[in-house]
Amino acid sequence: MGDFIQGIFEGEFLFVAYILSTILVFAILIAILLIVNRVIGSWEKKEGNELLGKLRKRIRLPVFLLVVFLSLVIPVSFFDQKLRYADTLGSVFSVMVIIFISWILIQSVHLVKHFVLGKFEIDEKDNLKARKVYTQFRVLENIIVFLIVVIALSLILMSFDGIRKIGVSLIASAGVAGIIIGFAAQRAIGTILAGIQIALSQPIRLDDVVIVENEWGRIEEINLTYVVVAIWDKRRLVLPTTYFIEKPFQNWTRTTAEILGTVFIYADYTLPVDAVRKELDKILENAGHWDGKVKVVQVTDATERTVEIRVLVSAADSPSAWDLRVYVREKLLAFLQREYPQCLPRTRVILDPDKK
C-alpha cells in the first residue's frame, strides 16, 4: 500500500500533509455551513419564510457532497508543484464540484417555481392571471435549467487540458463543417427562440382554449421547442413553438374566459320571432351554464325558402358555452315542433288552374 501511495505522491509526508489539510478544510467548511444554516434557520422562524425551509431540506445532500469535494480540491492547489498527479486529481475534483453546484442551482430553480405557482390556482374559472404565471415559469424554468446544464458541461470540458486542446483544434480545422451545422441548426435555434418569445409575449398560455388546424382544444403543455394541445376528444396535437409565432390561430381565452355561444335556427317566414324571444327567456331560466349577461334573438338572413334566426347567449367559459348551445338548440327545436310545427322549413308549390 505504501508503494502505491508513493507512486502517486513523492513521499509519505506529502500524503499525510494532504490528508490533514483535507480534514482541516472539511472542518472549516462544515463549521461555516453550520453557522450559515443556523442563521438561515433563525431568520426562517422569525420571518415565517417557507421557501427557505424547503430549500434547506432539498439542497442538504448536494451541499454536503459539495463540501466534501471542496475539501478535496482546495488542498490540491497547495500541493500543485509536488503532487505527481495534481492536475488530474484537481480536474476530477473540480468536475464533481461543478456537478454539485449545478445540482443545487437546478433544485433551487424547481423549488422557486413550485413555491410561486403554489400561490395560484389554475383550476379556478377566472384563472387568467394564474395561467399567465404558469406559462412564464414553465418555459423560463426549462430555459434556465438548459443554460445551467450547458454552462456546467462547458466548464467540465474546460477542466481537462487534453479535451480543451482537441476542441480548439477541431474548431480550427472544421470551418466548412461548422457552417453546415449552423445552417442545419438554424431551425432548431429558431424553435428555441420562439419558445422564449412565447414566454415573454404570451400569445398563448396554459389552459387557453384555441382553434388550431381546425381542431378545438386546450393548451396542455408549453415547452421550449413544442406545444401540446389537448383536443376535446382526448387526442393530443403536438406543434412546434414556431407555429404560434408564424401562423394565425384562434385564442378564445386571450383576455378572458368568457365567451359567446351562437345557435342558428332555420324556420318558415310565418314564425313569430317575438315568440322565440319569450321562449328563450324561459329556457335560460333553467339553464345552469348561462352567466346571465347576454341573450339575443336576431333574424340574420332571409332566403327564398327560410329565415335564419341567430340566438346569442353567453357563458363563463368555452365548455359551458358548448353545453349551453346544445341545450338551447334542443329546447328551441322542441318548442317549434310543439307550438309552431307549421313554421318548420317547407317548400311551397303553387298550382295555377288557369294554366295548362
pLDDT the model gives residue 45: 65
Q: Which CATH architecture has domain 186-251?
A: Roll (2.30)
pLDDT the model gives residue 59: 72
pLDDT the model gives residue 40: 66
Res 60 pLDDT > 80: no
Res 131 pLDDT > 60: yes
Grid coordinates representing 96?
464533481
pLDDT the model gives residue 110: 77
Question: CA-to-CA distance for 298 and 304, rounded, in angstroms?
Answer: 18
Per residue in 162-212, pLDDT (tens digit) is 555 544 444 444 454 455 555 555 666 677 777 778 877 788 888 888 889
% of residues, the chain, pLDDT over 90: 13
Grid coordinates representing 174?
472544421
Per residue in 234-252, pLDDT (tens digit) is 899 999 888 888 888 888 8
Name which of 317, 254, 261, 249 is nearest 128 in CA terms. 254
Q: Are strands 290-302 and 215-222 parallel, antiparallel or unpaired?
A: unpaired
Per residue in 319-332, pLDDT (tens digit) is 888 889 999 999 99
| Angle at the Cα of 106 from the Cα atoms of 66 and 218, rounded to 5 degrees | 165
pLDDT the model gives residue 327: 92
Average confidence score pLDDT of the chain:
76
Q: Are strands 307-315 and 250-251 parallel, antiparallel or unpaired?
A: unpaired
pLDDT the model gives residue 101: 82
Sequence ranges of the domains in the chain: 2-119, 186-251, 259-343
| Angle at the Cα of 189 from the Cα atoms of 187 and 195, rounded to 5 degrees | 105
pLDDT the model gives residue 4: 46
Res 144 pLDDT > 60: yes
Question: Range with the lowest mean pLDDT among 71-75, 144-148, 152-156, 223-227?
Answer: 71-75
| Angle at the Cα of 199 from the Cα atoms of 193 and 202, rounded to 5 degrees | 115
Per residue in 63-117, pLDDT (tens digit) is 777 777 777 777 766 655 555 555 566 667 677 778 888 887 888 887 777 777 7
Res 124 pLDDT > 70: no
Q: Rounded to two decimals, what is the model's pTM?
A: 0.48
The residue that leads in pLDDT, 155 or 280, is 280
pLDDT the model gives residue 316: 83
For the domain spanning 259-343, the CATH number is 3.30.70.100
Per residue in 287-299, pLDDT (tens digit) is 888 888 888 999 9
Name which of 61, 94, 96, 75 is nearest 25 in CA terms. 75
